[in-house]
């Protein structure tokens, strides 16, 4: 069932680097794993099973005390930055059970994002988070929505992002029109940094832009290159490049953006969606040339987000009913959606099989 997939052997985005202040606890659930995370006094971010090994108290409800120790709010057990319990107040003799240790989860900080791996740690030797250099590059102006809770399986968002035929009717009048549905789709797929990826390429010439895109990108009628790539179970990258009609490829008049969508599963029915918009620094909006296009995007795009969230929630609700003879029909432009679904389902199946090469099974 498409809305039941959950891949654990993947690097997922826990948040922006700037959201992890030194010695500040954060609790979250990623791929059904409860986590407590914080940035240590030395500057690195650590992640552990959030449950105190004594009585399952969530450690994010505790506090960090002198010496960088994490103190549980229930009985005062203290853990160091390696997850080892180093103090038990009810054991004044200093005896600590050897099993009193938190499970650690691998963390990588890269391109302004904090990534965590909740699956088999041995698999991290061959898989790296996708590179997203625009987020930390001063040549780009960047803004993000913050984490958005979506009551739907993360695969439904991935399929939504790979598909612009839904721009009509769902986004008609803001970023979409019926012409989106008629643009030919090219497929690209492969493996990068151990992550199977799949994407669509859509090229249009003399295309009249919908209102929001005209405002963000200045031009009315354009030559447009538009790509949507699922880079891993955690990230979908969208890039739009436009030129005035007849000037395709001319760098002096090019406008565009790169949107990084992160989709971090909470469980099989919920995920956290974050949208990070990147535009070349200095790009202005058409309606107010003194205003940045990124600022205008962040003001208007929540309308689009709300439409997608509504559709995802309604889709998820339909999985509560037995199929009873129902089956989905795949249309010609759905080739990337179908491939993305196959990739995630095969990754999950490989985890269940516990084979030595789970990624190879998905390629």
Residue 362 counted as domain residue? no
Q: Are residues 143 and 250 in the same domain?
A: yes
Q: Of the ranges 330-339, 340-349, 352-361, which one carries the lowest mean pLDDT score?
A: 352-361
Residue 151 counted as domain residue? yes
The residue behind tokens 């643009």 is 183
Q: Are residues 116 and 142 in the same domain?
A: no
Residue 34 confidence (pLDDT) above 80 = yes
Residue 357 counted as domain residue? no
Q: Are residues 113 and 225 in the same domain?
A: no
pLDDT band at 1 (very low <50, low <70, confident <90, very high): low
Q: Are residues 264 and 162 in the same domain?
A: yes
> For residue 354, what pLDDT is reported?
66
Instruction: Return all residues near 348 (Cβ < 8 A) that are at least 6 apart.
Output: 5, 6, 7
Residue 358 counted as domain residue? no
Instruction: Return all residues near 79 (Cβ < 8 A) that are at least 6 apart.
Output: 48, 59, 69, 70, 72, 85, 86, 102
Cβ atoms of 200 and 186 closer than 8 Å: yes
Q: CB 234: neighbour CB atoms within 10 A?
A: 25
Residue 122 confidence (pLDDT) above 60 = yes
Q: Are residues 228 and 86 in the same domain?
A: no
Enter the tokens of residue 320.
């509560």
Residue 361 confidence (pLDDT) above 90 = no
Where among 109, 125, 141 does a domain terminate?
A: 125
Which pLDDT tens digit goes with each residue over 197-228? 999 999 999 999 999 999 999 999 999 999 99
Where among 94, 125, 156 does a domain terminate?
A: 125
Q: Are residues 76 and 173 in the same domain?
A: no
Q: Are residues 140 and 118 in the same domain?
A: no
Q: Are residues 75 and 182 in the same domain?
A: no
Residue 182 counted as domain residue? yes
Mean pLDDT value of segment 292-299: 98
Residue 361 counted as domain residue? no
Cβ atoms of 18 and 109 closer than 8 Å: no
Residue 362 confidence (pLDDT) above 90 = no
Domain count, the chain: 2
In this structure, what CATH number is given to the domain that contains residue 8?
A: 2.102.10.10
Which is nearest to 159 in space by CA: 212, 213, 228? 228
Residues of the domain holding 24: 2-125
> For residue 312, what pLDDT is reported?
98
Q: Are residues 238 and 347 in the same domain?
A: yes
Where among 95, 125, 155 does a domain terminate?
A: 125
In this structure, what CATH number is given to the domain that contains residue 176?
A: 3.90.380.10
Residue 237 counted as domain residue? yes
Q: Are residues 258 and 141 in the same domain?
A: yes
Q: Are residues 92 and 141 in the same domain?
A: no
Q: Are residues 54 and 172 in the same domain?
A: no
Residue 356 confidence (pLDDT) above 50 = no
Residue 299 counted as domain residue? yes
């Amino acid at each position: 069932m498409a809305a039941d997939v959950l891949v654990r052997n993947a690097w997922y985005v826990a948040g922006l680097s700037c959201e992890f202040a030194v010695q500040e606890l954060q609790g979250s659930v990623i791929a059904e794993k409860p986590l407590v995370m914080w940035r240590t006094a030395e500057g690195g971010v650590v992640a552990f099973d959030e449950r105190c090994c004594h009585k399952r108290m969530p450690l994010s409800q505790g506090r960090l005390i002198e010496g960088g120790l994490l103190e549980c709010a229930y009985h005062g057990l203290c853990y160091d930055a390696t997850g080892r319990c180093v103090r038990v107040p009810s054991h004044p003799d200093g005896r600590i059970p050897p099993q009193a240790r938190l499970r650690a989860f691998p963390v990588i900080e890269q391109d302004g994002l904090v990534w965590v791996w909740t699956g088999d740690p041995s698999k991290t030797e061959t898989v790296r988070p996708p590179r997203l250099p625009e987020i930390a590059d001063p040549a780009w102006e960047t803004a993000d929505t913050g984490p958005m809770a979506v009551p739907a399986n993360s695969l439904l968002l991935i399929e939504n992002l790979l598909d612009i035929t839904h721009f009509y009717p769902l986004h008609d009048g803001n970023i979409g029109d019926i012409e989106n549905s008629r643009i030919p789709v090219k497929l690209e797929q492969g493996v990068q940094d151990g992550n199977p990826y799949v994407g669509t390429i859509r090229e249009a010439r003399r295309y009249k832009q919908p209102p929001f895109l005209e405002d963000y990108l200045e031009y009315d009628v354009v030559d447009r290159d538009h790509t949507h790539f699922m880079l891993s179970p955690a990230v979908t990258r969208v890039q739009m490049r436009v030129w005035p009609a007849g000037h395709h490829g001319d760098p002096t008049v090019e406008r565009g953006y790169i949107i990084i969508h992160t989709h971090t599963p909470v469980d099989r029915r919920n995920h956290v969606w974050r949208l990070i918009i990147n535009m070349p620094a200095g790009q202005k909006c058409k309606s107010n040339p003194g205003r940045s296009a990124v600022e205008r995007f962040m003001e208007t795009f929540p309308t689009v987000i709300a439409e997608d969230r509504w559709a995802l929630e309604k889709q998820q609700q339909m999985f509560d009913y037995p199929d009873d003879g129902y089956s989905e029909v795949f249309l010609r432009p759905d080739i990337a959606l179908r491939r993305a679904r196959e990739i995630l389902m095969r990754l999950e199946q490989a985890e269940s099989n516990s084979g030595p090469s789970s990624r190879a099974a998905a390629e």
